[in-house]
C-alpha cells in the first residue's frame, strides 16, 4: 500500500483536508493507498480549525473533528512513499532539515500542472476554506496515485 504524506504549516487546515479528501478518493476508487498529514510548524495535538471541520463536513461529507496536528518528523517522512507539500516553502524547509528525503518530497505546484501553491486559508472565511478544499480536491482527483 502506498503511503502519502501531505504537509502544510500548522496541520490544522490544508494538509488534514488533503489527507481526508485523498483517503475518501482512495476508498471510492479502490486505490491501494493511505494518506496522512503533518505540519512543518505544527503544535502537536492541536485540533483542526473549525472552518476546516465545517468545510469537510458540508462540502465533502467527511468528519475530521477528531484530527490532531502532528509536527513533521523523520518517522513520518520515512514511512511515506511520497510527501506532498502545499508550498515550495514547505518543501524547502523539509529538505533543509531532512535532506535524505529530498527524492520523495514534492510541492503540489510541481505535480498539479498549475504551477501554484495552495494558499493558507487560516483565519479566512468559510468560503475561502471551501475554495481551498476544491483546489486541493482537483489536484487529488487528477493526480495518478498508482
Residues classed as catalytic: 8, 14, 120
Rounded CA Rg of the chain? 14
Burial 104-114 (b: 16+ CB within 10 A, else e): ebebbbeebee
Cα(146)–Cα(33) distance, integer angstroms: 8
Residues 6 or more apart in contact with residue 113 via CB below 8 angstroms:
142
Name the 3-class secondary structure at 38: strand
Amino acid at each position: 500500500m502506498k503511503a502519502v504524506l501531505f504537509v502544510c504549516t500548522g496541520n490544522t487546515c490544508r494538509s488534514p483536508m488533503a489527507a481526508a479528501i485523498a483517503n475518501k478518493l482512495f476508498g471510492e476508487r479502490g486505490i491501494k493507498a493511505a494518506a496522512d498529514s503533518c505540519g512543518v510548524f505544527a503544535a502537536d495535538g492541536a485540533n483542526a480549525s473549525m472552518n476546516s471541520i465545517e468545510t469537510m463536513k458540508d462540502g465533502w461529507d467527511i468528519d475530521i473533528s477528531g484530527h490532531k496536528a502532528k509536527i513533521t518528523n523523520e518517522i513520518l517522512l520515512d514511512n511515506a512513499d511520497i510527501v506532498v507539500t502545499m508550498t515550495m516553502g514547505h518543501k524547502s524547509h523539509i529538505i533543509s532539515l531532512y535532506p535524505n528525503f529530498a527524492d520523495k518530497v514534492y510541492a503540489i505546484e510541481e505535480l498539479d500542472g498549475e504551477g501554484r501553491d495552495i494558499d493558507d486559508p487560516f483565519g479566512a472565511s468559510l468560503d475561502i476554506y471551501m475554495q481551498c478544499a476544491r483546489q486541493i480536491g482537483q489536484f487529488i482527483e487528477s493526480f495518478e496515485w498508482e
